[in-house]
Amino acid sequence: MAVRLMLESLSKRGHTIDVATFPEGEEVTIAQVKIHRVKKLPGIKSVPIGFSMAKVLYDLALLPKLMSLLRRNQYDLIHAVEDGVVLACLIKWLYGIPFVYDMDSSMVTQLLDKRKWLRPARPILDFFESFGVRQSLGVLAVCEALTQKVRQYAPQKKVQTLEDVPIMEAAEQGLPASLKNELGIDGALVMYVGNLERYQGLDLLLKSFALVVRASPQARLVIIGGTAPDIAHYRLMAEREAIPASVFFLGPKPATDLQYYLRAADILVSPRSEGENTPMKIYSYLYSGKPVVATRLFTHTQVLDDEIALLVAPQADDFAQGILKLIEHPARGREIGARARQRVEERYSLTAYERKLKDFYDEIAQTVNHARGRS
């Protein structure tokens, strides 16, 4: 979704773009954008979120695709997304083509979160990540935490914080008029949306919701997203917490239906316990106008504050108390939701996103043109 938004915004500005990418994903049509996919590798069913050998193998498969494109076309700039910065550094060395680093996450943080035994090697990993930053013309960072990291790596490097924007589409055809009625929910509907990776804090959420149900037996938790194995894992946990009938796992849903589901909730939750990026869903949560309960960690507080969310310690008791406060005081929840909607419209709208991107690319274009002797 983030890459599609980037492509649509750059296309509006008149750029012609070739995209080299993995075989997964839907086909999309964007003016002046052509997508080139590598062939599916045998034995790899899907590429999971975060660092994986599947992603490494597909990055290697991208290299001949990139070389083919470079032989046929002349490019002014490479826009390197996340681990694509490794290939961008190689292209810069071989062809002299500059690149922008689109930093949606810290590859070092992702790797160490999954491979904790690598933590002693952090200085080496930081060096390679900082090398990509230093070699770039500039960095687009998806959140303030990454902007700070870029400034630590290269204090003089041009960096623009470019936050995600809410998903505002509302194609609600074929959906039930009332999700509560469809699921048979009489009490408060608490909702989580997102992947079910460990860093998202689903363990914390289920443990806290077991406490919520003790105080508010009619409350129900709806979880949207996740792969089949992840859903099976957390179903078992819900059983261990003795709340299987209180938790609904609806699986992944189309992005076009997201606002329907968010607006069906009474309370939205983000229990993330690790990481530094602001979860992309937070912007859609805020836009929905529903109150948000989130952990008081920098992953959230670089966007959220006590005016637009109920922030709590990342512990089951505290998270449960946050949810119960909003169940018991719905008027307070409505006030928080209204302020959140106003904040996202002021600071994180599509207009604000496109303005930041335009200013960044205008300066990058001047640098590229100057280096090539253009006016």
In a domain, 256, yes or no: yes
- φ/ψ of 348, rounded to 5, equals -125, 35
Closest of 61, 110, 101, 58 to residue 82, by C-alpha: 101
The tokens 């998806």 sit on which residue? 142
Give the mean model confidence (pLDDT) for residues 334-361: 94
Tell me the pLDDT tens digit for each residue of 232-285: 999 999 999 999 999 999 999 988 899 999 999 999 999 998 888 899 999 999
Do residue 356 and residue 329 come from a single domain? Answer: no
Report the percent of the chain where pLDDT is more than 70. 97
Do residue 106 and residue 142 come from a single domain? Answer: yes
Q: What is the pLDDT of residue 202?
A: 97
Do residue 78 and residue 145 come from a single domain? Answer: yes
Structural domain tally of the chain?
A: 2
Residue 173 has pLDDT above 70, yes or no: no
Q: What is the pLDDT of residue 255?
A: 85
Residue 137 amino acid letter? L
**Domain range for residue 304?**
179-347
Rounded distance between C-alpha atoms, residue 139 and residue 136, angstroms: 7
Residue 79 amino acid letter? H
Q: Give the highest mean pLDDT range of 48-62, 158-172, 255-269.
A: 255-269
* Domain containing residue 310: CATH number: 3.40.50.2000
Do residue 116 and residue 235 come from a single domain? Answer: no
Do residue 156 and residue 249 come from a single domain? Answer: no
Give the mean model confidence (pLDDT) for residues 135-139: 96
Do residue 330 and residue 361 come from a single domain? Answer: no
Do residue 262 and residue 298 come from a single domain? Answer: yes
> Sign (positive/negative) of CA torsion 111, 305, 255, 262?
positive
Average pLDDT over all residues of the chain = 92
Rounded distance between C-alpha atoms, residue 296 and residue 124, angstroms: 30
End-to-end CA distance of the chain: 35
Alpha-carbon 204 to chain mean position? 20
Do residue 74 and residue 142 come from a single domain? Answer: yes
Do residue 250 and residue 342 come from a single domain? Answer: yes
pTM of the predicted structure, to 2 decimals: 0.85
Do residue 200 and residue 247 come from a single domain? Answer: yes
Q: What is the pLDDT of residue 52?
A: 75
Q: What is the pLDDT of residue 172?
A: 61
Rounded distance between C-alpha atoms, residue 316 and residue 302, angstroms: 22
Residue 375 has pLDDT above 60, yes or no: no
